[in-house]
Amino acid sequence: MPDFKSTFTDEVRRLAKKEAKALNEIITAQGKTIKALTKRVAELEKKFETVAPAPTKDATPADQTANAKASKVRYSPKTIVKFRKKYGISQKPLAAILGVTQFTVSHWESGKNRPHPNQIEAIRALTKRGKREVEALLAEKAPEEFEAIKAKKDKKAAKNPAKVAKPAKKAKTPKATKTVAVLAPAVATDKVITVKP
């Protein structure tokens, strides 16, 4: 009977060679795929360079000043929230005024994203405007939202007229003195006392 140890060792070697051969075939196939993909990426990069040339390191002075301003612009998400509450508008009309989506404004307010420096400048300019100017912009760029806000204000004014229209102040009248007659039961004479209210 053959030796068990040598038989087992020979069988393990045979199986290992078989597995190694299968792995070598897989690795060779993947190597070919990687070479083909690398070649394809190189072709696409060349196409891209012809369509959109890479930006040059020599920027114009206007670009340099715009980049310098952009780096100095300060921004806080609270700015947008305060502005919206001050003028009583939601994210959707503000987005229409700024030319972005409501989703974008939501991300700015939550701090998930930061506006582009040009948009920050637009927000800053918008916060410096008066209420009538903002309403005019809203009527121009988002008429549907403007009408909805206007209807909401009108409904609120009809519901609580005292809060919307303040009553005129009453003119102060001079304090008058009143004359009171006091009758004393024991005495037959009347005593007159003047009392100031």
Q: What's residue 22's pLDDT?
A: 92
Q: What is the mean pLDDT of each run of 10 residues along the chain (197 residues)?
A: 83 93 93 94 84 56 55 73 84 85 89 85 84 83 78 77 56 54 50 58
Q: What's residue 13's pLDDT?
A: 93
Q: What's residue 21's pLDDT?
A: 92
Q: What's residue 53's pLDDT?
A: 53
Smallest CA-to-CA distance from 97 within 86, 89, 106 is with 89
Q: What's residue 178's pLDDT?
A: 52
Q: What's residue 4's pLDDT?
A: 85
Count Cβ neighbours within 10 Å for each residue of 96-126 and write b for 16 or more, e otherwise. bbbebeeebbebbbeeeeebebebbebbeeb
Q: What's residue 123's pLDDT?
A: 84
